[in-house]
Amino acid sequence: MKLWGGRFTKETNQLAHDFNASLSFDQRFYRQDIDGSIAHVNMLAKQGIVTSEERFAILNGLEGIKSDIENGILEISPEYEDIHSFVEATLIERIGDTGKKLHTGRSRNDQVALDMKLYVRDEIAETDGLLSELLKVILRIMKENTSTYMPGFTHLQKAQPVTLAHHFGAYFEMFRRDRGRLSDIRKRMNSCPLGAGALAGTTYPLDRDFTADFLGFDEATRNSMDSVSDRDYIIEYLSALSTIMMHLSRFCEEIIIWNSNEYRFVELDDSYSTGSSIMPQKKNPDIAELVRGKTGRVYGALISILTTMKGLPLAYNKDMQEDKELTFDAIDTTNGCIALFTGMADTMTFNRDNMAKSAMAGFTNATDAADYLVNNGVAFRDAHGIIGQLVLLCLEKNISLGELPLDEYQKISPVFKEDIYEAISLETCVEKRLTKGAPGSKAMNAVIKECEAYLEEGKDE
């Protein structure tokens, strides 16, 4: 059954029907579609547009359809154009002519705008919940590793020593910001388009505030043309998902590097690794690589919807139907990747000795050696030059600064005393960094406390 057969004299070409139809993908939000209809019919009855008997019959019918779909009793049959047609036709089939009153004062344009908003709102909550689980795992690893020393990198070259807690703390901040972004979007999108009609409102005395309130929106939208043609919230959500994927991808890249034979910082659990069909020794970080790989797919959805929207005149255009498949795919991809990454992170183990060894090589304490001179009255630029010479000497001898004998130090500057070794030990280099946000364990513990409180409050910012 079509919702619009009246003015047509010919059947739709089959290919045209298939091309136009959205049921195969918009059935995903059947629940939201029915919830929207429930709100609508309650409002119609309150306004005296349908009688309370009609309301009762329609509500019963809709609830029945919802639970029958949920229980697998009612199959969504593929000949319908979209989920809206399917629900309405099934309602009429089940309760008779009264069902024909459901669509009073409504268009599929405001209906689909509502369904998609309700759906995205639910998915935002899902993504947020997954991120908070990930943050819990990151925080646990942070708490256990405030004294796990490792090299910090710039340009992928060893720079200064940090701790694993500090490194993971950086990702905690990223995913925390991601949650903040989701919460912003949720607030901004929370206005109800139902009642906007096709584009110009309706002549029925609808109470749009009632419907908005019924569905948990903060308000009804203020412009009916914008209501049916706004997809900003989808763009914002896809942008937030893209940023989450970018963060996950960076994290995966590091785990792949740390898992390499050369680094051996991290051991992935067997349950999150895969083998090779030919090389028996291999244990590959496929999950991390796939998360990194799938990032492009989510970016693609964002670029796709931006491009779809860029040339559309007001108000509704069928182009907008393209907002669904890619968005659904991006949501499934991102939510799936967060969950998998969380499991992988939760089960991986760290090779603390290798990390510390690596932090001791590569002159990660050179800055601290220069600071030692500064603390003993040498100007920083001169200190920089002196340590540069010492590094060169060590490179020639193939040793670290800690292994260079004191007399070699003193040949270049008499300022050096025995306490230089203590000043450039790995522990000192990290523990002396105590400014807010630095890796020293005192500073780190303060941040961990704050992160704990943030997760406990469940506050989204």
| Min separation Cβ 26 and ligand ARG, Å | 6
In the complex, least distance from residue 109 CB atom to ligand ARG, rounded to whole angstroms: 5
Beta pairing partners, 73: none
Q: Quote the CA–CA distance of 292 and 162 in Å, as a whole number.
A: 25
Structure tokens of 5?
A: 């057969």
Residue 7 or 318: the one with the smaller Cβ distance to ligand ARG is: 318
Distance of closest approach, residue 107 Cβ to ligand ARG, in angstroms = 7
Q: Which stretch binds ligand ARG (CB under 6 A): 137-145, 246-254, 281-289, 318-326?
A: 318-326
Residue nearest ligand ARG (C-beta atom): 321
Contact call for residue 327 and ligand ARG (CB under 6 A): no
- Three-state secondary structure of the chain: CCCCCCCCCCCCCHHHHHHHCCHHHHHHHHHHHHHHHHHHHHHHHHCCCCCHHHHHHHHHHHHHHHHHHHCCCCCCCCCCCCHHHHHHHHHHHHHHHHHHHCCCCCCHHHHHHHHHHHHHHHHHHHHHHHHHHHHHHHHHHHHHCCCCEEEEEECCEEEEEEEHHHHHHHHHHHHHHHHHHHHHHHHHCCEECCCCCCCCCCCCCCCHHHHHHHCCCCEECCCHHHHHHCCHHHHHHHHHHHHHHHHHHHHHHHHHHHCCCCCCCEECCHHHCECCCCCCCCCECHHHHHHHHHHHHHHHHHHHHHHHHCCCCCCCCHHHHHHHHHHHHHHHHHHHHHHHHHHHHHHCEECHHHHHHHHHCCCCCHHHHHHHHHHCCCCHHHHHHHHHHHHHHHHHHCCCHHHCCHHHHHHHCCCCCCCHHHHCCHHHHHHCCCCCCCCCHHHHHHHHHHHHHHHHHCCCC
Q: What is the smallest separation between the CB atom of 188 and ligand ARG, expressed in angstroms? A: 21
Q: Is 231 in the site for ligand ARG (CB under 6 A)?
A: no
Nearer to ligand ARG, 22 or 98 (CB): 22
Out of 30, 233, 316, 454, point to the residue binding ligand ARG (CB under 6 A): 316
Q: Which of 21, 206, 233 is nearest to 115 (CA)?
A: 233
345 near ligand ARG, judged by CB under 6 A: no
Q: Does residue 321 interact with ligand ARG by CB under 6 A?
A: yes
108 binds ligand ARG (CB under 6 A): yes
* Angstrom distance (rounded) from CA 93 to CA 82: 17
In the complex with ligand ARG, the residue whose CB is nearer, 67 or 77, is: 77
Q: Minimal distance in Å, beta carbon 248 to ligand ARG?
A: 29
Q: Does 22 bind ligand ARG (CB under 6 A)?
A: yes
Query: CB-wise, 26 or 178, nearer to ligand ARG?
Result: 26
Question: What is the distance of C-alpha 241 from the center of its chain?
Answer: 4
- Assign residue 216 a region (left: φ > 0; alpha: ψ between -120 and 50; beta: otherwise): left
Least distance (Å) from ligand ARG to the CB of residue 3? 9
Q: Is 320 a binder of ligand ARG (CB under 6 A)?
A: yes
Q: Determine the Cα–Cα distance for residues 261 and 42; give it in Å rounded to an integer.
A: 64
Q: Which is nearer to ligand ARG, 243 or 327 (CB)?
A: 327
| Structure tokens that stand for 17 in this block | 């029907």
Query: Which residues are the active-site residues?
Result: 155, 276
Structure tokens at 276: 């090779």
Contact with ligand ARG (CB under 6 A): which of 50, 62, 65, 112?
112
Considering the complex, what minimum distance in angstroms separates the CB of residue 126 from ligand ARG?
21
Point out which span in 66-74, 104-112, 413-421, 427-435 binds ligand ARG (CB under 6 A).
104-112
CB-wise, 316 or 454, nearer to ligand ARG? 316
Kindly state the smallest distance separating residue 58's Cβ from ligand ARG, in Å.
21
What would the two tokens of residue 448 be?
């961990």
Task: Identify which range of 27-35, 316-324, 345-353, 433-441 contacts ligand ARG by CB under 6 A.
Answer: 316-324
Q: Minimum Å distance from CB 108 to ligand ARG?
A: 4
Which range touches ligand ARG (CB under 6 A), out of 106-114, 274-282, 398-406, 451-459? Answer: 106-114
Among 42, 109, 160, 163, binds ligand ARG (CB under 6 A): 109
How many residues belong to the site for ligand ARG (CB under 6 A)?
10
82 is an interface residue for ligand ARG by CB under 6 A: yes
Q: Give the type of residue at 390.
A: L
Structure tokens, 441: 């364990």
Considering the rule CB under 6 A, would residue 47 count as an interface residue with ligand ARG?
no
* CB-nearer residue toward ligand ARG: 22 or 365: 22
Binding of ligand ARG at residue 229 (CB under 6 A)?
no
Stretch that binds ligand ARG, among 38-46, 133-141, 173-181, 315-323 (CB under 6 A): 315-323
Q: From 108-116, 264-272, 286-294, 387-395, give the range in contact with ligand ARG by CB under 6 A.
A: 108-116
- State the residues that interact with ligand ARG by CB under 6 A: 22, 26, 82, 108-109, 112, 316, 318, 320-321
